[in-house]
Amino acid sequence: MTTTLPEPAAAEIAPRRLARRATGTDRLFELSATAVGAAVLAITGGIGVFLAWQAVPTLKRYGWSFFTETAWQPEANVLGIGAVLAGTVSIALVALAIAFPLALATALYISEYAPFRVRPTLISLVDLMAAVPSIVYGLWGALLVMPHAAELALWMHQHLGWLPFFDVDADPNAAMWDRSRYVSSAFCAGIAVAMMVMPMACAVMREVFSQTPPGEKEAALALGATRWGVVRAVVLPFGRGGIIGGTMLGLGRALGETIAVLLIISPAFDVKLRVLEVGSNSISALIAGRFGDASPAQLSALLAAGFVLFVITLVINTLASIIVNRSRSGAGAEA
């Protein structure tokens, strides 16, 4: 004989509705975080709007020639950022070429090779480099690094001078070489800037490397992989997004460095590919050097140059943040 159980009432089987809205302390934290984020966006947007508004008179007056003209001669009514824009990019690329391998090697050593007891100390030391003022790096580069950088530039000119980037308008094999041709260059400024952007890139790379799934690393070791094999097959593929994002964040900062570049370079308003040769300039150094005695028309031109730098840096940092946020979570690693 089959016994039929009574069906439960509809109210008993209906799913319970959960409240998703935060309450109490969680609600307060959510509102505070939203307010801070909105304030940051408002301030950043306000800066961009202000620079764009101040740049309108210059862009109306000079048009596209403002971006292609290399001379900066206010007394002759000739203004353009072609040369300083090229100098900004060259200094940033030199800094990135030096900072990228240092940041990558440091991040890998801290996350994979350093003993656990010394890792917090190493992390603190690298992060402390980011707190050093720019003027300290500028003085370090101008007074300590530049004499040795000139000798390195001479060596590079002698052995790699057949490349346009390492050519200098001087005789590298002269009995008495002209040191003044190899100082105050984009190369010298790039060394100082590299030390300033390296901690930022290293921090991003190290953070992504530390999130590598332990199971993938242990599986590679169980299959007989060496420590470098684990790094090459698991850690580096996992951290590809962090490597790219950290490098782009470093590039964004290198483009805007001011005081260190201003203390090192010898201002020159000509487009040159020769990074070892004396003379260069950047947008930020131009603004810092000419802002104090600028007329209203020159001030508008400087703010227009600042707006260009603002847009370039904002685009690079935004792309870097997107890449970091989309960093892989398991795809592409080989055990």
Q: Give the pLDDT of residue 67.
A: 87
Report how far residue 254's alpha carbon sits from residue 274's, in angstroms, rounded to the nearest whole number: 19
Q: Which of 190, 185, 193, 189 is nearest to 157 (CA)?
A: 185
Structural domains of the chain, ranges and CATH numbers in brackets: 83-325 (1.10.3720.10)
Whether 114 and 100 have beta carbons less than 8 Å apart is answered as no
Q: Give the pLDDT of residue 63.
A: 84
CA angle 234, 214, 217 (to 5 degrees): 35
Q: Give the pLDDT of residue 39.
A: 92
Q: Give the pLDDT of residue 3.
A: 56
Q: Give the pLDDT of residue 330.
A: 42
The answer, as to whether pTM is greater than 0.85, is no
Q: Give the pLDDT of residue 2.
A: 55
Q: Which of 128, 100, 101, 125 is nearest to 114 (CA)?
A: 125
Report how far residue 122's alpha carbon sits from residue 298's, in angstroms, rounded to the nearest whole number: 46
Q: Give the pLDDT of residue 219.
A: 86
Q: Give the pLDDT of residue 80.
A: 86
Burial of 8 from C-beta contacts in 10 A (0-12 / 13-18 / 19+): exposed
**How would DSSP label each residue in 123-155?**
HHHHHHHTTS-HHHHHHHIIIIIHHHHHHHHHH
Q: Give the pLDDT of residue 320.
A: 79
List all residues 6 or more positions away from 140 whose beta carbon is below 8 Å from its beta carbon: 192, 195
Q: Give the pLDDT of residue 332.
A: 43
pLDDT in tens, the chain (335 residues): 555 555 555 556 666 676 667 667 777 888 888 899 899 889 988 988 998 898 888 888 888 888 888 888 888 888 888 889 989 999 999 999 999 999 999 999 998 888 889 999 999 999 888 888 889 999 999 999 998 898 898 899 888 888 888 888 888 887 788 888 888 889 999 999 999 999 989 998 998 888 888 888 888 888 888 888 888 888 888 888 888 888 888 888 888 888 889 899 988 888 888 888 888 888 888 888 888 787 888 888 889 989 999 999 888 888 877 877 776 544 444 43
